[in-house]
Amino acid sequence: MTENVHELDVRRQLCPIPVIKTQNKVNELAQGAVLRVTCTDPGALNDIPAWCRINGHEVLETEQDDREVVITLRVGEPSVAL
């Protein structure tokens, strides 16, 4: 099974911009979609997974090298606006 993986490049952007742009992109995607976020802010390695837990999205993989952090997530159920 091959999944269509959406990409979001937030390199050279500092907190909170990677999380905000991840949220905006997730809002455009259907439940079950996969998003790969590439960052240079090392804080994103904690911030984006924490945001995912709070908002019902699943972190599939995190990768980190000396320059970049890559977080792959699956979009969860859309939140219901009250």
Catalytic residue positions, numbered: 15
Per-residue DSSP letter, 79 = P
List, in order, residues 6 or more apart from 23 with CB less than 8 Å away. Answer: 51, 55
- 34 and 60 in contact (C-beta within 8 Å)? yes
